[in-house]
């Protein structure tokens, strides 16, 4: 057993650190740390910097313009980026659609769409969930009817993250009502500029509007935008979800949140002493830090097993549950550390009163990160996946 | 990075599993001795046969999983401490816990000069031992069984092992050194206890899962009921956490003391909490049969709780971790 990173991996980490130090604007990092909404230009600017270094698509093979990193390298990049408070790479084009097109898309689709993801020509969003199809995704109803060399799309999608910035959306649509509900679903690429597409923001608990409703009213989509085969979309959707679940443990985000919590607890005064010296609070902090130490190793154990060719099974579900529990506990402790100072809410996810900025960020972060145990397959769904695998033995 | 067992360790695991499957009760100790297991806590330089964290973890996990008594752990601590202090090998029972205190040392046992006076409780492995390895507030001592002022009052412990109270009245003792001077040995002993605990945790989990898959109620196996399935999934996650904590300590056994102690404390907290959780949940998930002495779970539950308690429980180590105190000082 060898728990250490190889010299190559350590050098890689140093390289990432040096890049972040040189290229990440401290004002931007501060916005990320305080959970303020980033502008589209800020996110695109960071993508462009990474792309010019060849690091935007760590998960893509080199033949498609990616970095072709190993799972361990991706882990190192995610961890360092999170700890430096770099903007998160918007996942929809890079982490989700890209792998699907590479595996199931036509040559024409690959040649057209993949370079546009890397150079920022397209901003993709995801059209999966519907008001009546959340955890039971296969219950979706948004329909696409074939009409000559077009599909005509009618229906609604929801929870479309950052859809307000997007010009393209990849959708699961119903193309058949025959047979099992998983069998009549297709994977369709839709231009958001097409007449009949309407995007409406949904304001969340923390005042931010990062998600949207998307409405389709007789939207005509070229049949060439169908990925793979009609009615086979469920296969591609499941493949995409396995990619969505990389970095699911969120070790870097949790480590950054723990660093921040410790800093806050040292600065806050409680009974005349730093809060970090209060036995009850210190024990709470220690308990979540200890959980993170173990989870971080669970994550590496599973990455290492995957790198040696052992197929990932229920591990990603385990990491989703434990990773989100840890981050939500950290967020809760950080908010509680501020006590009465954390009562206001920044407007629209942006700056609040200047001197109370950090306390307000703690509240907004706690509120926003309630989503962690809901999205990407709720933690209850993950438990059912684990138990389902155990039942089979 | 590679978390796989080495070929040597895989062979060790195989032979150990074979021995544990063939022997139990009185026959087990000689069979383990033949494999060299009693020297497991010693490094090669001290006359042991491996001494790496990975080997300690794997040996004791197998012992715990197979339902072997934890007595060998207690005995090995004494052997390792003697070797480190440069003394001849002897079988010593580890006398650590004291009456009147959760986990403090030196409350009911005090040293004056080269003599000890006071009481130790829940001493394991005294049967056949030549003496005792006794902790005081800041030191480790050796007390011979036959020395003046030594009394031992035996009683059974909750995990069915013989134990007892050690009562010393101005008993002559040999100071082996400061606790902090033996922190390496004690860290190995904690790893052994934690890995043993992980083995028992795994046994409890496997037995419970097996039961939920076989036992039918309302025409369905219990695992098909979501309320139970989700609790089982949560247990599966915590078992992985416990395994990672043991991996972390075994990988940092020879790290600089402050870092090693953080992993030691984190390991004892994680394994202790998982052990408590498994102890409570596995009975509940079994239902009435889990309450019976006849069923195999009973002994497992008691070993789970014992694994948390030995050498400082989860609460004790959490507090020391929170206050950044060394593990043994």
Predicted confidence (pLDDT) per residue in A92-147, tens digit: 999 999 999 999 999 999 999 999 999 999 999 999 999 989 888 999 999 999 99
Nearest CB among B221, B233, B241 relative to A386 is that of: B233
Residue B327 lies in a domain: no
Is B195 near chain A, with CB under 8 Å? no
Bridge partners (DSSP) listed for residue B2: A2
Is A383 near chain B, with CB under 8 Å? yes
Helix B7-22 and helix B28-35, axial crossing angle in degrees, nearest 10: 160
Q: What is the pLDDT of residue A246?
A: 65
Segment 79-118 of chain A within 8 Å of chain B by CB: none
Are the C-beta atoms of residues A159 and A204 closer than 8 Å to each other?
Answer: no
- Nearest of B243, B10, B285 to residue A315 by alpha carbon: B243
Indicate the pTM of the whole model: 0.92
- Nearest of B192, B166, B175 to residue B59 by alpha carbon: B192
Residue B206 lies in a domain: yes
Q: What is the pLDDT of residue A109?
A: 98
In chain A, list all ranges with CATH 2.40.110.10. Answer: 124-232
Residue B328 lies in a domain: no
Write the CATH number of the domain with boundaries A124-232.
Answer: 2.40.110.10
Query: Which residues constitute the domain of residue B117?
Result: 78-172
Residue carrying the six token digits 């728990």: A3
Is A294 near chain B, with CB under 8 Å? yes
Nearest CB among B3, B223, B247 relative to A387 is that of: B223
B287 and B189 part of one domain? yes
How far apart are the C-alpha atoms of A294 and A267, rounded to whole Å? Answer: 27
| Residue-level pLDDT, tens digit, chain B, 329 residues | 788 899 999 999 999 999 999 988 888 888 888 888 877 777 777 777 788 899 999 999 999 999 988 777 777 777 788 877 778 888 889 999 999 999 999 999 999 999 999 999 999 888 889 999 999 999 999 999 999 999 999 999 988 888 999 999 999 999 999 999 999 889 999 999 999 999 999 999 999 999 999 999 999 999 999 999 999 999 999 999 999 999 999 999 999 999 999 999 999 999 999 999 999 999 999 999 999 988 999 999 999 999 999 899 999 999 999 999 999 98
Active-site positions of A read: 244
Smallest CA–CA distance, residue B87 to chain A, in Å, is 32
Are the C-beta atoms of residues B123 and B165 closer than 8 Å to each other?
Answer: yes
Is B240 near chain A, with CB under 8 Å? yes
Is A18 near chain B, with CB under 8 Å? no
Residue B52 lies in a domain: yes
How far, CA to CA in Å, does A211 sit from each of A94, A205, A208, A351, B59? 19, 12, 9, 19, 52
How far apart are the C-alpha atoms of A374 and A325, rounded to whole Å? Answer: 11
- The CATH number of A250-391, from 1.20.120.1200, 1.20.1070.10, 1.20.140.10, 2.60.40.10, is 1.20.140.10
Listing DSSP states for A137-175 in one string gives GGG---EEEEETTEEEEEEEE---TTGGG-SEEEEEEE-
B249 and B313 part of one domain? yes
Contact A301 B321 (CB under 8 A): no
Residue B72 lies in a domain: no
* The two three-digit tokens of residue B173, written as one number: 């003792």
Contact B245 A391 (CB under 8 A): no
Cα dihedral B47, B49, B50, B53, rounded to 10, equals -80
B201 and B311 part of one domain? yes
Mean pLDDT of the residues in chain A: 92
Write the CATH number of the domain with boundaries A7-106.
Answer: 1.10.540.10
Q: Tell which of B139, B154, B172 closes a domain.
A: B172
Listing DSSP states for B89-107 in one string gives P--EEEE---TTSSS-SSS
Q: How many domains does chain B have?
A: 3
B193 and B313 part of one domain? yes
* The two three-digit tokens of residue A36, written as one number: 């303020």
- Nearest of A390, A316, A386, A315 to residue B208 by alpha carbon: A390
B89 and B49 part of one domain? no
B48 and B163 part of one domain? no
B198 and B268 part of one domain? yes
Chain B interface disruption, residue of A7, A76, A300, A387, most B CBs within 10 A = A387
How far, CA to CA in Å, does B215 sit from each of A44, B25, B210, B248, B285? 56, 30, 9, 36, 11
DSSP H helical ranges for B137-225: 183-214
* The two three-digit tokens of residue B169, written as one number: 């009245």
B209 and B307 part of one domain? yes
B157 and B206 part of one domain? no
B238 and B296 part of one domain? yes
Is B40 near chain A, with CB under 8 Å? no
Chain B interface disruption, residue of A281, A284, A286, most B CBs within 10 A = A286
B136 and B234 part of one domain? no
Q: At CA B25, angle to CA B24 and CA B30, rounded to 5?
A: 80
B50 and B159 part of one domain? no
- Nearest of A104, A183, A175 to residue A141 by alpha carbon: A175
In chain A, list all ranges with CATH 1.10.540.10. Answer: 7-106
Range of weakest confidence among A189-198, A239-248, B50-59: A239-248
Instruction: Kindly report the CATH number assigned to the domain that includes residue B222.
Output: 1.20.140.10
Residue A122: strand, helix, or coil:
coil
| Radius of gyration, CA atoms only, chain B | 20
């Amino acid at each position: 057993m060898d728990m250490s990173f190889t010299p190559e991996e350590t050098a890689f980490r140093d390289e990432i650190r040096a890049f972040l130090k040189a290229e990440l604007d401290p004002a931007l990092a501060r916005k990320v740390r305080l959970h303020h909404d980033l502008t589209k230009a800020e996110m695109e600017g960071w993508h462009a910097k990474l792309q010019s270094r060849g690091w935007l698509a760590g998960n893509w093979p080199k033949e498609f313009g990616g970095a072709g990193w190993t799972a361990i390298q991706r882990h190192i990049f995610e961890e360092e980026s999170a700890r430096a408070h770099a903007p998160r790479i918007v996942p929809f084009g890079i982490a989700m659609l890209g792998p699907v097109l590479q595996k199931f898309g036509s040559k024409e689709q690959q040649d057209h769409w993949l370079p546009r993801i890397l150079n920022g020509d397209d901003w993709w969003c995801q059209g999966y969930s519907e008001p009546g199809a959340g955890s039971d995704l296969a219950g979706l109803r948004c329909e696409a009817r074939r009409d000559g060399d077009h599909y005509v799309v009618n229906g609604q999608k929801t929870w479309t993250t950052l859809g307000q910035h997007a010009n393209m959306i990849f959708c699961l649509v119903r193309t058949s009502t025959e047979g099992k509900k998983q069998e009549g679903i297709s994977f369709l690429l839709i231009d958001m500029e097409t007449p009949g597409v309407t995007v409406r923001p949904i304001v969340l608990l923390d005042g931010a509007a990062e998600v949207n409703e998307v409405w389709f009213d007789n939207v005509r989509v070229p049949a060439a935008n169908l990925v793979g085969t009609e009615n086979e979309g469920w296969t591609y959707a499941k493949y995409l979800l396995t990619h969505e679940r990389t970095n699911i443990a969120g070790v870097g985000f949790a480590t950054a949140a723990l660093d921040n919590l410790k800093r806050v607890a040292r600065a806050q005064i409680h009974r005349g002493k730093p809060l970090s010296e209060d036995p009850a609070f210190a024990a709470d902090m220690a308990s979540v830090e200890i959980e993170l130490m173990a989870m971080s190793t669970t994550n590496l154990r599973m990455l290492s097993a995957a790198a040696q060719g052992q197929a990932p099974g229920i591990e990603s579900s385990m990491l989703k549950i434990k990773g989100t529990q840890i981050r939500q506990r950290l967020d809760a402790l950080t908010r509680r550390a501020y006590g009465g100072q954390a009562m206001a809410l920044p407007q629209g996810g942006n700056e609040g009163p200047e001197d109370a900025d950090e306390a307000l960020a703690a509240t907004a972060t706690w509120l926003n990160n309630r989503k962690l145990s809901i999205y990407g397959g709720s933690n209850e769904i993950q438990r059912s996946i684990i138990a389902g695998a155990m039942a089979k033995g | 990075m590679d978390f796989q067992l080495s070929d040597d360790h895989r062979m060790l695991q195989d032979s150990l599993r074979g021995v544990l499957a063939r022997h139990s009760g009185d026959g087990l100790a000689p069979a383990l001795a033949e494999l060299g297991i009693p020297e497991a806590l010693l490094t090669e330089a001290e006359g042991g046969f491996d001494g790496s964290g990975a080997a300690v973890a794997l040996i004791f996990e197998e012992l715990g999983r197979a339902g072997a008594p934890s007595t060998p752990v207690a005995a090995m601590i004494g052997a390792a401490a003697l070797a480190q202090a440069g003394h001849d090998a002897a079988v010593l029972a580890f006398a650590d816990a004291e009456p009147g205190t959760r986990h403090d040392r030196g409350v009911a046992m005090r040293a004056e000069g080269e003599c000890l006076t006071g009481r130790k409780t829940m001493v394991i492995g005294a049967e056949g031992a030549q003496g005792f390895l006794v902790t005081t507030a800041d030191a480790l001592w050796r007390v011979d069984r036959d020395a003046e002022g030594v009394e031992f009052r035996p009683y059974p412990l909750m995990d069915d092992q013989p134990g007892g109270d050690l009562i010393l009245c101005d008993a002559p003792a040999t100071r082996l050194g400061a606790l902090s001077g033996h922190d390496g040995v004690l860290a190995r002993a904690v790893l052994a206890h934690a890995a043993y605990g992980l083995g028992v945790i795994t046994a409890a989990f496997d037995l419970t899962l097996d039961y939920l898959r076989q036992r039918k109620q309302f025409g369905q196996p219990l695992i098909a009921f979501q309320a139970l399935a989700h609790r089982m999934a949560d247990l599966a996650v915590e078992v992985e956490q416990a395994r990672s904590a043991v991996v972390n300590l075994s990988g940092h056994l020879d790290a600089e003391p402050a870092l090693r102690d953080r992993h030691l404390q984190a390991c004892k907290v994680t394994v202790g909490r998982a052990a408590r959780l498994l102890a409570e949940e596995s009975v509940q998930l079994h239902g009435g049969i889990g309450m019976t002495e006849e069923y195999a779970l009973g002994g497992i539950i008691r070993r789970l709780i014992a694994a948390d308690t030995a050498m400082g429980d989860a609460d004790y180590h959490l507090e020391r971790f929170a206050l950044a105190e060394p593990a043994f000082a």
